[in-house]
Structure 1
């Protein structure tokens, strides 16, 4: 891992990001580097989920693509308070909330069905990874993010 200033430079997903089915490294935002999850707190699962394209609320709506993607590997977290730094969109389609970085509001990085409070999915390919010395987010714990719900249709 390379160092950039006093923060570890993050990396993309690779085999060394998984150990015994858990995240071996801290999971961080691809955009700002804020820590989303500490190591060993999420389980790698195969699940097919369609996510809208990534964006953040500060971008103009005309810069955003309308083409989402189907992703098949996720980190499963069983309690919203396990997260270090995550926000939730408004409810979309009656049952879904999208997860985003609470610092820079980039997302969606994951998905949650409000009918099941024990399943929060973070897309493996929408986050980066650092050894546990990575930048920690201010505050902690998952919080309801009163965003505009801009991640849905």
Structure 2
């Protein structure tokens, strides 16, 4: 059973990543369906990034001793914030800004380090592909 699950994950990813490594479908918010990135604008990237659990923007910037969340490795990468169709940013949390849906403010759906002005990551698991 696990083998079937893994092969379906692999085929799901190959449906999403084109031969040139870019997104083959539009990337939209799971909650409201707002378009985050157009087809063919982001590169698939594997990088371990910790993202807090999904919630509304007002609860994201609070600094707690232990933040509930998960480390994700499959992301869409863009090097220019103007590539996004619709994305918002939280206030600084340390040296990081989290990316959220600009329409419904759910997130974080992604991650941006203030130390690297040209790196924006959207977690594949936290968005839909249409």
User: Same fold, TM exceeding 0.5?
Assistant: yes
Distance 1:81 1:58, change over 3 A: same
Aligned to 2:102: 102
Q: How does 1:43-122 map to 2 (within 5 A)?
A: 43-57=43-57, 66-93=67-94, 95-122=95-122
TM, length-normalised to structure 1: 0.69
Over the aligned positions, Cα root-mean-square deviation in angstroms equals 1.4
Greater helix share, 1 or 2? 2
Q: Alpha-carbon deviations, 1:62-119, whole Å to 9, x = none?
A: xxxx5200101111101000000000000001x1000000000010000000121110
Runs of 4+ in 1 over 3 A off after TM superposition: none
1:34 aligns to 2:31 (yes or no): no
TM, length-normalised to structure 2: 0.81
Residue aligned with 2:75, SS: strand
Q: Compute the displacement of 1:58 (Å).
A: 6.9
In structure 2, the gaps of 5 or more residues are 1-11, 60-66
Aligned to 2:8: none
- Alpha-carbon distance in structure 1 between the residues aligned to 2:35 and 2:122: 13
Aligned to 1:24: 24
Aligned to 1:10: none
In structure 1, the gaps of 5 or more residues are 1-12, 60-65, 131-153
Q: Compute the displacement of 1:40 (Å).
A: 0.7
Residue aligned with 2:33, SS: coil
- Alpha-carbon distance in structure 2 between the residues aligned to 1:55 and 1:31: 11
Q: Which has the higher contact order (CA 8 A, sep 6+)?
A: 1
Q: How does 1:10-21 map to 2 (within 5 A)?
A: 14-19=13-18, 20-21=20-21
- Alpha-carbon distance in structure 2 between the residues aligned to 1:121 and 1:57: 18
